[in-house]
Structure 1
């Protein structure tokens, strides 16, 4: 995964006096799942729309699959897949008709029936999209986004409305696409989803990248203190420590064996993310 699919340097976008994107730099490698996190208004959507070729930038260099998305060619567009945050599929057609229709726009589409099955809608193939639940319609959007075998796939809150089983099935599809060389840009408010899927991510606040890394080590997460919790004689006990094994051994000796309701945890991705946002807001 050394070849770069997306290269961004000094990206800037303003709306009047408001600076939405303020000098972003990042790279996305081929076959990489890349997460973009940030609070509402941080500049995530503007950045993604520029990469997709749907919004013009004010300054900076952007290379997406070897082209400038500000001047996209027709072949370049066929190499991009997008799952929009809002539903885009018309409701009067059936699921099968919809997916087969969009397949015709691409030179080498995947098998529509295979994709319908992968998003968990095989039993709804002949149902009109408008009759489906919100989560099921969302799955149709996902099917349309991946039908063209995209080299670069943009996912904006892709599993909104999915039940837990459907989310897990979708995660498997995304991993298989990445294993096949598809680069994926993921924006999601489900941090467990980002943690499960992303190889690397950036956190954007006020148009700037405040941290970049992989989910396991982001913001010093891997070396942060652990929390050891258990049920003591007088109620719940909790201790933060750099040496959780030592503390567990001490507790085991104290309890003469099994430690009641023992848990050992380090900060979650959500803990680190919320801490970063709070730190940036305080600094402002």
Structure 2
């Protein structure tokens, strides 16, 4: 091989761009929140339900407080650091399970629509259009009015239906494109069962697109969960979440702004971090 040939090969070889600093910081912050969610029960300095009316509205450190309550206390004297750790745990649990559940439901329906075609495809398409046009808040209110017992399990199930139609469209589109490819037609001719083709060959090809969509849908699920809890729909006291804490701080925004500021900043940076990671992953898959 001549030197010119080696130079041409090197010039054609794509050079992987380094990970941007913002993406690195986003990954570190997301991992920090995940670590807080997983270890909240062990690192909380106080019990979440422990009240002390003599220390109501104690300011956090940045507002002149002390290390006994680094994030201050709320209107009942509960430690805000403990409440924030529990809120991160609940909000991330709901967002994670809701995102995974919506991805599973949507992907299965998308593959079934592509596999079956005909009236089944049309019926699933009507469901997708209905979900896309129906305001999520109206749908949640209707489900909570019909289903008994508004607990966390029911709220997680409700969050699983948020955004499933996007996965259905993506999975159906990828599956229909893959059905026309040569290797799928060869597998069909050789008598390979359809379920095996979809699960072992078509689905893995769609995982990249679906994972990117999950990373972009996760912050939207967090915002949907916190918005509902901010309005008082969903997690009920004595439990808490980031949206519940913001709803509580709304009533004391002038005399105790940290009650809304701390959970609000966590929501802001959490959704921003995951969105930046999702955008970076999308760019990586587009370049691949």
Aligning the two structures, in what range does the TM-score lie when normalised by the shorter sequence? under 0.3
